[in-house]
Amino acid sequence: MKPEVEMKLQNKTSAPKWQFIYWRRAILYLWPSILLFSVFLFYPLLKTFYLSFFLTDQQGMANVFVGLENYQYIIQSESFHKSIRATLIFVLLTVPTSVIISLFLALIANEKLKGIGFFRTLFASTMGISVAASAVVWLFIFHPSMGLFNQLINTLGGSEIEWLLDPQWALLSISITTIWMNIGFTFLILLGGLQNIDEHLYESARINGAGYFYQLRRITLPMLSPTLFFVITVSLINAFQTFGQVDILTQGGPSESTNLIVYSIYREAFVNYQFGTASAQSIFLFLCILIVTILQFRFGERKVHYQ
C-alpha cells in the first residue's frame, strides 16, 4: 500500500476523534461567553418561559400549574391592551423622530467647518448621560409651574400644560424625553456612517453638477442605508424595552396612559407579585420584538446596500 493511501485511511478512521478534539477546543474558547450568557440570558429566558405556565407565591416560586391560563388572562386584560397600544404609539412617536432628527444633526455636523468638533461633542453628549439622570432633568423641565416649558408658554401668553399629569400629554412627554436621550447614540453612529463615505463620490458628482439634495438622495442616503438600518433596528428594540424614564417621570400613570409594556411587566411582578402573568407578558414582548426584527430583516434589508 502506498503511504499516501495509508494516511488517508488512517485519517478516515480517526476522524470522529479529531472532530471531538476540535469541538472541545472550540468550547474552551467559547466558555467565558457561554457562562455569561447562561447566567444572564439563557437561564432567565428559560425560567421566564417556565414561570409563564404557573401561578406563583410572593417569593416568585412556582405554585400551581395553570397551562396557558396566564396567556389567556393577559390577552383579555383591558390594562394589557392599553399597555400594548401605548407601547405601539410610543414606538411610532420615538423611532422615526429620533432617527430623522439625528440624521439631520449628523448631516450638518459632517460639514467641514471651524469648531465643528464642539457641536459634534454636544450632539453626541446625551449618550453619556444615564437614563435616570436625564429623566430627572426632564422632570424639572416638565414641572407644572417652575418648568422651562410652561414658563415659555406663559411668556408667550398660552395656557399651561400639565405635561406629566394630563393623560393626553403624558405619553408625548415621555416620548420627547426618549427622543432626546436617543439622539446621542443615533447621531454618533450616523455621523460615523457619513464619514465613511468616500469624499471622491461627492467631488465626482459636483463636477457633473449635482446639487446638494440630489447628492443627498442619490449618494448619501443609499450609501448610509446599512447604518440607517442598524440604527433603526437598535432603536426599535430599545423603544420596546423602555423602562427608566417611565419609572421616574410618571410611574405608568396618569390612568395607565404611559404604562409601557416593560413597565407593566415590572408592576405585575414586583408590585402585584404576579410573576406568572408578568412572565407571560415578557414572553409576549419577546415574541413581538423577534417578529418585528425578523420582518425588518426580511423587508428592510432588501433596500440596504452593503459595500
89 lies in the binding site for other proteins (CB under 8 A): no
Strand (E) or helix (H) holding 56: strand 54-56
The owner of cell 461627492 is: 202
CA 54/CA 60 separation, integer angstroms? 10
| 59 vs 208 by CB, closer to other proteins | 208
| 25 vs 303 by CB, closer to other proteins | 303
Stretch that binds other proteins, among 57-65, 96-104, 125-133, 204-212 (CB under 8 A): 204-212
* Residues of span 24-63 touching other proteins by CB under 8 A: none
Site string (209-238) toward other proteins, x via CB under 8 A: xx---x---xx--xx-x-------------
CA 38/CA 45 separation, integer angstroms? 9
301 lies in the binding site for other proteins (CB under 8 A): no
Dig out the grid coordinates for 104 from the structure. Answer: 439631520
Dig out the grid coordinates for 120 from the structure. Answer: 459634534
For the chain, the farthest-separated pair of C-alpha atoms sits apart, in whole angstroms, at 101
| 225 vs 293 by CB, closer to other proteins | 225
Closest contact distance (angstroms) between CB of 105 and other proteins is: 24
Count the residues of the shown chain that bind other proteins, applying the rule CB under 8 A: 19
| 6 vs 198 by CB, closer to other proteins | 198
CA 45/CA 56 separation, integer angstroms? 17
Q: How far is CA 111 from the centre of its chain?
A: 28
208 lies in the binding site for other proteins (CB under 8 A): yes
| 3 vs 209 by CB, closer to other proteins | 209
Q: 279 vs 74, 88, 240, 296, CA distance in Å?
A: 10, 20, 16, 26
| 63 vs 196 by CB, closer to other proteins | 196
CA 80/CA 88 separation, integer angstroms? 12
Closest contact distance (angstroms) between CB of 103 and other proteins is: 17
206 lies in the binding site for other proteins (CB under 8 A): yes
Please give the single-letter amino acid code of residue 118.
Answer: F
Q: 147 vs 143, 157, 210, CA distance in Å?
A: 4, 15, 46
| 40 vs 214 by CB, closer to other proteins | 214
Give the residues across from 64 on adjacent strands.
55
Kindly tell me which residue out of 24, 207, 213, 302 binds other proteins, with binding defined by CB under 8 A: 207
17 lies in the binding site for other proteins (CB under 8 A): no
Please give the single-letter amino acid code of residue 268.
Answer: E
Interface residue list for other proteins (CB under 8 A): 198, 200-201, 203-210, 214, 218-219, 222-223, 225, 305, 307
